[in-house]
Amino acid sequence: MLLWVDVRVYTLVYPQSATLMDNALSLLLELASTNSQSVDSVARLLSAAKVRTVKSGAKPIKLADGGGLVLYVTPSGTKSWRYRFRLGGKEQTLTIGSYPEVSLEEARQAHRAARWLVERGHAPLVYLETQLQSRSDAKALAERHSFDAVCRDWLAATKGNLSSTTVRHRQQMLDKHVLPILGKRPIAAITRKELRDLLLGIDKDAPVTARHCRIYIKQVFDWALDAELVQGSPVPKATSLPNQASRRSVPRKALPVSALGSFLRTIEDAKTSDVLTRTALWLLVLTWSRTAEVIGAKWNEFDLVKGVWTIPAERMKAREAHVVYLSAQAMTRVKALKKLECSDYLFPNRRDPKRAMGRMTLSAWRERWGFAETMEIHGLRAVASTWANETGRYRPDVIEAALAHKEGDRVRAAYNRAAFANERRAMLQAWADECDRLLELAC
């Protein structure tokens, strides 16, 4: 314990905690080292053996070591190191620490540092408390501006515009690959080389993960730049990573329209497949929706009287509510599911009906039934889009609206959603009829 004694008035000022005492001792030892006080200018009187073997008495015992440093032994046998000095005309005492926690050598080093302060007119305890507070403030500031802290702030500030899947993906990528390495580093101190080395390590075994991590790191630094926490972004270009430099944008594998009938026939004939899986695949085809939108569909999103499915903004990629005009064929399949309703979801998870069907269920079906090499589930949207464009009967804006592609002009987008309702409904019905035709041809 550190304490300050004014001998004339016997006033004691204690530190706030034992942690402060330990930190203050460390600071004294550091001060002794940095000020080249390794050579002792004081004639020392004690030895390690003497300190270890001295016995307590009826009254406190004070064994001088020189220069004001004494070993203070209480009648109960506890021993402590004290430094007695005069400052500002007052005799004062600084307790350096207890023995044997603080050895004779450590007590002498701390004593040399305290004497150095007194010689320069500094009260040791005041100096130590000031330094410790300054370091504590600097540490707190560094923690607030660490990559981890800035990353958490960025995640919280930007998640409102993203789907829950994207939010979860960002968190998982950063938690697993980035924060364990960079988390405690002050964001302003992170170098381009550090980031490049990190990303190179990921890119070697997992190029896709490296690409995602680089994007998220760049977004964190862009956010920090706007908050004036950094002077610039050190994130390396994607082309600096070997497996990214050679990447090319590869479109999703999609069936030609002429082959769709075979795919639909396989769904119909795959009676060993779960009815929920087969119906989800059909709705993907008939509604032009994304996988997450279909498997996450809830009954309260459907108006089976008007034949409308309204997907809420929080489940849409563009973060805007989207209306799907259900064809007669889509209505038939949804109503058939209604008879099996056992969850809020149209396609509940088999293990836990309170959750939606897993994202990989449909991809696994594709692989199991021999379509892995020729198509991707997401590519079904491309099949529908190709058909609509090749017929020449539908305006591009109508097709884009049906695919829920975000319109840059928000006023125009709002108008289009309303104006294209009849055209979209007619287009999706014509598409469903075409699917029936292709299915019959594949018999």
Q: Provide the CATH number for the domain around residue 44.
A: 3.30.160.390
Catalytic status, residue 355? no
Last residue of a domain, one of 121, 138, 155: 138
- Taking CA atoms, 222 is separated from 187, 208, 215, 225, 227, in Å, by 12, 21, 10, 5, 9
Are 295 and 373 part of one and the same domain? yes
Catalytic status, residue 415? yes
Indicate which residue of 169, 298, 378, 417 is catalytic.
378
Are 414 and 343 part of one and the same domain? yes
Q: Provide the CATH number for the domain around residue 228.
A: 1.10.150.130
Range of the structural domain that residue 301 is part of: 257-441
Calpha distance 251→144 (Å, rounded): 42
Domains of the chain: total:
3
Beta-bridge mates of residue 311: 322
Catalytic status, residue 122? no
Indicate which residue of 381, 394, 424, 425 is catalytic.
381
Indicate which residue of 159, 317, 355, 417 is catalytic.
317
For 185, which DSSP code? Answer: S
Calpha distance 229→227 (Å, rounded): 5
Angle between helices 421-441 and 275-287 (to 10 degrees): 130
Catalytic status, residue 290? yes
Calpha distance 432→268 (Å, rounded): 15
Are 132 and 241 part of one and the same domain? no
Indicate which residue of 290, 315, 322, 425 is catalytic.
290
Are 220 and 354 part of one and the same domain? no
Calpha distance 283→379 (Å, rounded): 14
Are 279 and 373 part of one and the same domain? yes
Last residue of a domain, one of 225, 245, 265: 245
Calpha distance 380→261 (Å, rounded): 12
Are 280 and 408 part of one and the same domain? yes
Indicate which residue of 176, 193, 338, 415 is catalytic.
415
Calpha distance 162→237 (Å, rounded): 24
pLDDT values of the chain reduced to their tens digit, one per residue, 443 residues: 344 333 332 233 334 344 445 667 777 877 777 765 666 778 889 999 999 999 989 999 999 999 899 999 999 999 999 999 988 888 888 888 889 998 998 889 889 888 888 888 888 877 877 777 777 666 665 557 789 989 988 888 888 767 777 788 889 999 999 999 998 889 889 999 999 999 999 988 888 889 889 989 999 999 888 888 888 899 998 888 777 644 444 455 778 888 898 999 999 988 777 899 999 999 999 999 999 999 999 999 999 999 999 999 888 887 788 999 999 999 999 999 988 888 999 999 888 888 999 878 888 888 888 887 788 888 888 899 999 998 888 888 889 899 988 654 444 454 455 558 899 999 999 999 999 999 999 87
Convert the pLDDT of each residue in 336-395 to its tens digit.
Answer: 998 888 899 999 988 888 899 987 888 888 888 888 778 888 888 889 999 999 888 888
Q: Residue 251: inside a domain, yes or no?
A: no
